[in-house]
Structure 1
Amino acid sequence: MCGISGFWNPSRTNERELRFTLDRMLDVLDHRGPDDRGSRLYVDQGLALGHTRLSIIGLDHGHQPIETTDGDYALTVNGELYNYKRIRTQLGCNNFSTSGKSDSAIALPLYLRDGLSFVEHLRGEFAVVLYDNKKKQLILVRDRFGIKPLYYAMNDNGIVWGSEVKSILKHPDIDPQLCPKAALHQMMQVMVPGSTSFQGVEALKPGHMLIVNLQNGRLEARTKRWWDFVFPESHEENADPEEYVQGVQDRLIDAVATRLEADVPVGCYLSGGIDSCSILGLATTLQQSPVKAFTIAFDSDEYDESNIAKLMADRTGAEQELLRLTEKELYGPAFERATWHAERTFYNTLAVAKWHMSRRVRACNYKAVITGEGSDELFGGYPFFKRDWLGRDDEGGIFAGAILAEEDLQHPAWQDLCGFTPSWMQPWMLTLKRFQPILSSTMQDLFEEYDPVGEVAAAIDPAQVRGRHRLDISQYTWSKTMLEGQILTWGGDRMDMANSMEARPAFLDHHVAEYAVTIPPDVRIRDGIEKWVLREAMVNVLPKELYERKKFAFMAPPAHTDPVKRNAVQEMINHWLTPERVREVGFFDYDRLIQFIDQSWNETDSTVARRNDIVLNHTLQLHMLHGQYVEGLPLPVVD
């Protein structure tokens, strides 16, 4: 797991300038790879490849960039390629100057054999940047679900890329400016696939590659989708559910066993949900020694599930590391640092909790953990999936106002695309409505001509949803937006790698995913029980209390639940939402914003209060991002 960065400016061929620029870009990625740093310059092309390394596999043989001995091909890899031993045996990887024993070294011989199709042989989570000097071709690749990040900016001078946007913003050709349209999307939590918070900076979409060629002194680029999360147009009727139960079990065992491969100890994240508990149960069975399990505990019974996690840890004999978090840890300096790492806003301080957890993992001398992300996306675990297929069955409880809407909404773009407006989108439409009255006049004008809800729908490939089952449509649209843009970024990679720690989501192994889409809806959700097929596959792993438990919201307690938390948020408001900064950022009307904040603290309806907390988080962070990236303010120290 690493950080990668670089640029290609054909008109700039000064070696000193190239090296100085690349060093600045790599400096801000040091947290992604503190164990080693490498670079490869093609000075006559104005091209630079850079890498910071977190050593997990091939501890003494993983220096990057990796290149052929003749120097005609070079690449950098961020992530893990789990099938490297088999491919290395088949192809032989000894004709390289360095890194022949690392997992990343298989990518170049695959490319030399198969061309662009080399990515189809890669198993794992990865971002790859490969330069072919013979063809004067640069290839950027992102893994199937977007577990590993990769961003780029392209203008008349050339292309700049990096594992994180902050690296790109260090290039002299890139002016760090927040994008007003992206700000609207952050207010409603849902980004357009491929977009970022910053003007001119794009995210390479999951399962895509960007191919850049030098033509007549200029760079020309095209994108190519090489994989997608494809549901069939019809499912087997009256299928034998036991066949699918066994199929899930077999593939998940293999996925977890594969992710235990490392030259350092591998632990597990453990919440009280069946996803992480299943991972821990399988890892315990597959590994001879006890597994280290890391659990977050909150100071609110309504949001805390550490008691269930402890039950699972006791059952498996895992050594459990319990991290208890209060308002002291969730707000203030840690909130600001998490925002800097996220490079976008987040609706809940779960991101801050994850930042603290990865720090604890490193303090325990672990560099890698297996996690449970992706299970809900594959097996229909979220309550909004069930609502889209089976209709309303409750008022949402603590989900209401955050991930379930208390009223039914429709949007014409989504109605046209899906035949309905997915339930996962509806609460964010309501959140955007809460923002509308406090926007500045400039943003009000933008909102009149730009429809953020419709723009998200426009980014979905209609060929992948039309004619599909409602549950498939809901799972697909969520996975193409919120899985990558939320769960795998500020809820995953960005908070984990902030403290040089690698997360391995076993459920998102593509062998598991490609099988999961074939499972009929009434086997995924059976008799109203979400993730039924997974529960049955793990019946011998999970405690009875967990096997029978409904989906729980893994969120940190919002500020309105505790006067101490409200005070902590108000301190941040006093510091960040000054009249001068609000006017400078330009997204909000200061007077209406302050009036909204005052009214929020007096809100008695829990659903509205929960949504108000979301508004406050996004508002604070938009101003933090401006301060951190546009103004260049220093980051606070966290005790």
Structure 2
Amino acid sequence: MCGITGFWNPRRTNQRDLRFALNPMLDVLDHRGPDERGSRFFCEQGVALGHTRLSIIGLDCGHQPIETDDGNYAATVNGELYGYKTIRTQLACEEFACNGKSDSAITLPLYLKHGLSFVEKLRGEFAIVLYDQTEQRLILIRDRFGIKPLYYHVGDSGLVWGSEVKSILQHPDVTPQLCPKAAAHQMMQVMVPGSTAFENVHAIKPGHMLIAKLRGDRLEIQTKRWWDMEFPESHETGVDPTEYVQGVKERLIDAVATRLEADVPVGCYLSGGIDSCSILGLATHLQQSPIKAFTIAFDSDEYDESNIARRMAERTGAEQELLRLTEKELYGPAFERATWHAERTFYNTLAVAKWHMSRRVRACNYKAVITGEGSDELFGGYAFFKRDWLGRDQGDKILAGAILAEEDQSHPAWQDVCGFTPSWIQPWMMVLDRVRPLLSSSIQDLLANYDPVAEVAAAIDPDMVRGRNRLDVSQYTWSKTMLEGQILTWGGDRMDMANSMEARPAFLDHHVAEYATTIPPDVRIRDGIEKWVLREAMVNVLPRELYERKKFAFMAPPAHTDPVKRAAVQEMIDHWLTKDRVNAVGVFNQEKLAKFLSDAWNETDPSMARRNDIIINHTLQIHMLHGQYVEGLPLPAVD
């Protein structure tokens, strides 16, 4: 697990200039790879490859960038490539020997053997940048689900890339500037796939690659999709679910076993949910020594799952590390630092909690954990999936205003592409409606000709959803938007790697995922029970109370639930949302925003109060991002 960055400017060919530009880009990624740093320059072409390393596999033999003996090919890799020992042996038998014994070392031999299709041979979570000097071609690749991040900027001076946007913004030819359209998207929580919070900085989409080729003195750039989460056009009905239960069990055991391989200890994140408890249960049986389990506890019974997590740890004999968090940890300096790492806004302080947890993991001398992300996406675990499949459930009131819309919403763009408006986007449409009156006149003018909800719908490939089952459509559209843009960024990689810690989401193993798409909807959600097939597969691993428990949304307690938290948020408001700062940033009408903020804490309707919390969080962070990245304000220290 590492940080990768670099650029290709055909007109910048002096090695001193190349190094001068690359070093600050590496400096700002030091948290992703504190163990080692490397660079490779192709001076005549103006190519610079940089790498910061977090050593997990091949501790003494994993230097990057990786090169071939003739120096014509080089690559940087961020992530884990599983099954590399078998692949390495096969390559050696076919005279495609690897330089080194780390997992990343298989990248170049596979490319030399298979060309661009080599990426289909890879298993794991990864972002790769590969330069082919013989073809004068650069390839940027992102894994199937976007577990590992990779961003890029294209300008008159060429192509710049990085594991995090902050490295791109360090390049001398890139000016940090927030994107006004992205500000509107952040306020409604849903980013357009491939976009970021910053002007002219883009994300490589999951399962995509960017190919840059030198034509004369300019770069010709194209992108192509190499993998997608493809559901069948029809499912069998009335099938015996036993086969699917066994199929999930076998593939998940293999995925967890694969992710336990490392040259450092591997722990597990443990909440009170089925997903992480399943991972811990399997890891316990697969590992000879006790597993270290890391759990977050909140100071609100309504949002805390730590009691169930504790019982699971006791059941498996795991060594549990429990981290209790209050308003002191969730707001103030830690909130600001989490925002800097996230590079976008987040609606709930779960991101801050994850930042604290990764710091605790590293303090315990662990560099890697297996996590449960992706299970809900594959097996229909979220309440909005269930609503799209079965209709409304009156027991979802705690989620109203944040996860579910309390009133049905519809949008013509979504009706056109999907045949219905997925339930997952409906609450964010209501947030946008609530925000619109607070925006500045310039943003209002922008939105007069720009529909954020329609733009997200336009990013969905209609061929992948039309004619599909409603549950398949709901899962697919969420996975192409919120899984990558939310769960795997500010809820995953960015908060984990902030403290040099690698997360391995076993459910997002593509062998598990590709099998899951074949499971009929009435086996995923059966008799009203979400993730039924997973529950049955794990019935002998999970405690009975967890096996029978309804899905619980893992969130931090919103600020409106506690006067102490409200006071902590108000302190941030007083600092970041002053009249002068709001006017300078220009996203909001200062007077209307001030009235909204003064009225927000008096809201008595629970759904509206949760929505107000979301808006306040996003508003604070837009101003923090401007301060941190545009103004260059220093980050505060965290105790």
Give the letter for the 2:413 counterpart: A
| Cα distance, 1:15 vs structure 2 | 1.1
Alignment of 1:466-545 (within 5 A): 466-545=466-545
Looking at structure 2, the residues matched to 389 and 549 of structure 1 have their Cα atoms a distance apart, in angstroms, of 19
Report SS of the residue matched to 1:255.
Answer: helix
Could you tell me which residue of structure 2 aligns to residue 573 of structure 1? 573
Matched, 1:69 2:69: yes
Unmatched tracts of structure 1, length 5 or more:
none
| Cα distance, 1:430 vs structure 2 | 0.4
| Cα distance, 1:395 vs structure 2 | 5.3
Counterpart contact for 1:295–1:309, Cα < 8 Å: yes
Looking at structure 1, the residues matched to 400 and 99 of structure 2 have their Cα atoms a distance apart, in angstroms, of 51
| Cα distance, 1:383 vs structure 2 | 0.4
Counterpart contact for 2:10–2:218, Cα < 8 Å: yes
Alignment: residue pair count: 639
Could you tell me which residue of structure 1 aligns to residue 170 of structure 2? 170
Report SS of the residue matched to 2:567.
Answer: helix
Deviations along 1:184-203, one digit per CA (max 9) or x if unpaired, are: 00000000000000000000
Report SS of the residue matched to 2:78.
Answer: strand
> Which stretch has the larger CA shift, 90-99 or 456-465?
90-99
Give the letter for the 1:233 counterpart: E
Report SS of the residue matched to 1:76.
Answer: strand
Alignment of 1:560-639 (within 5 A): 560-639=560-639
Matched, 1:147 2:150: no
| Cα distance, 1:397 vs structure 2 | 2.2
Matched, 1:309 2:309: yes
Matched, 1:32 2:38: no
Could you tell me which residue of structure 1 aligns to residue 107 of structure 2? 107
Deviations along 1:503-542, one digit per CA (max 9) or x if unpaired, are: 0000000000000000000000000000000000000000
Give the letter for the 2:28 counterpart: V
Looking at structure 1, the residues matched to 227 and 56 of structure 2 have their Cα atoms a distance apart, in angstroms, of 27
Looking at structure 2, the residues matched to 95 and 54 of structure 1 have their Cα atoms a distance apart, in angstroms, of 30
Give the letter for the 2:488 counterpart: L
User: TM-score scaled by structure 1?
Assistant: 0.99
Fraction of identical pairs, as percent: 81
| Cα distance, 1:460 vs structure 2 | 0.3
Could you tell me which residue of structure 1 aligns to residue 13 of structure 2? 13
Alignment of 1:214-613 (within 5 A): 214-394=214-394, 396-613=396-613
Give the letter for the 1:39 counterpart: S
Counterpart contact for 1:395–1:406, Cα < 8 Å: no
Across the aligned residues of Structure 1 and Structure 2, the Cα RMSD in angstroms comes to 1.1
Looking at structure 2, the residues matched to 107 and 80 of structure 1 have their Cα atoms a distance apart, in angstroms, of 11
Looking at structure 1, the residues matched to 99 and 60 of structure 2 have their Cα atoms a distance apart, in angstroms, of 8
Unmatched tracts of structure 2, length 5 or more:
none
Report SS of the residue matched to 1:44.
Answer: coil
Looking at structure 2, the residues matched to 399 and 156 of structure 1 have their Cα atoms a distance apart, in angstroms, of 47
User: TM-score scaled by structure 2?
Assistant: 0.99
Alignment of 1:155-194 (within 5 A): 155-194=155-194
Give the letter for the 2:167 counterpart: S
Deviation beyond 3 Å, 4+ runs, structure 1: 93-99
Deviations along 1:94-145, one digit per CA (max 9) or x if unpaired, are: 9999951000000100000000000000000000000000000000000000
Could you tell me which residue of structure 2 aligns to residue 58 of structure 1? 58
| Cα distance, 1:243 vs structure 2 | 0.3
Give the letter for the 2:174 counterpart: I
Counterpart contact for 2:91–2:98, Cα < 8 Å: no
Looking at structure 1, the residues matched to 166 and 295 of structure 2 have their Cα atoms a distance apart, in angstroms, of 29
Looking at structure 2, the residues matched to 460 and 166 of structure 1 have their Cα atoms a distance apart, in angstroms, of 28
Report SS of the residue matched to 2:24.
Answer: helix
Counterpart contact for 2:330–2:352, Cα < 8 Å: yes
Give the letter for the 1:8 counterpart: W
Looking at structure 2, the residues matched to 448 and 11 of structure 1 have their Cα atoms a distance apart, in angstroms, of 41
Looking at structure 1, the residues matched to 559 and 92 of structure 2 have their Cα atoms a distance apart, in angstroms, of 56
Counterpart contact for 1:63–1:98, Cα < 8 Å: no
Counterpart contact for 2:323–2:357, Cα < 8 Å: yes
Alignment of 1:126-145 (within 5 A): 126-145=126-145
Give the letter for the 1:561 counterpart: T
| Cα distance, 1:578 vs structure 2 | 1.0
Looking at structure 2, the residues matched to 489 and 324 of structure 1 have their Cα atoms a distance apart, in angstroms, of 23
Looking at structure 1, the residues matched to 193 and 236 of structure 2 have their Cα atoms a distance apart, in angstroms, of 31
In structure 2, relative to structure 1, the CA distance for the partners of 1:102 and 1:188 (3 Å cut) is: same
Looking at structure 2, the residues matched to 326 and 313 of structure 1 have their Cα atoms a distance apart, in angstroms, of 23
Could you tell me which residue of structure 2 aligns to residue 48 of structure 1? 48
| Cα distance, 1:92 vs structure 2 | 2.2
Could you tell me which residue of structure 2 aligns to residue 84 of structure 1? 84
In structure 2, relative to structure 1, the CA distance for the partners of 1:202 and 1:93 (3 Å cut) is: farther
Report SS of the residue matched to 1:92.
Answer: helix
Give the letter for the 2:194 counterpart: G
Counterpart contact for 1:66–1:96, Cα < 8 Å: no
Counterpart contact for 1:64–1:98, Cα < 8 Å: no
Looking at structure 1, the residues matched to 523 and 371 of structure 2 have their Cα atoms a distance apart, in angstroms, of 24
Looking at structure 2, the residues matched to 259 and 199 of structure 1 have their Cα atoms a distance apart, in angstroms, of 37
> Which stretch has the larger CA shift, 315-324 or 231-240?
231-240
Looking at structure 2, the residues matched to 247 and 218 of structure 1 have their Cα atoms a distance apart, in angstroms, of 50
Report SS of the residue matched to 2:44.
Answer: helix
Looking at structure 2, the residues matched to 92 and 456 of structure 1 have their Cα atoms a distance apart, in angstroms, of 45
Counterpart contact for 1:10–1:46, Cα < 8 Å: yes
Looking at structure 2, the residues matched to 83 and 203 of structure 1 have their Cα atoms a distance apart, in angstroms, of 27
Could you tell me which residue of structure 1 aligns to residue 22 of structure 2? 22
Counterpart contact for 1:232–1:518, Cα < 8 Å: yes
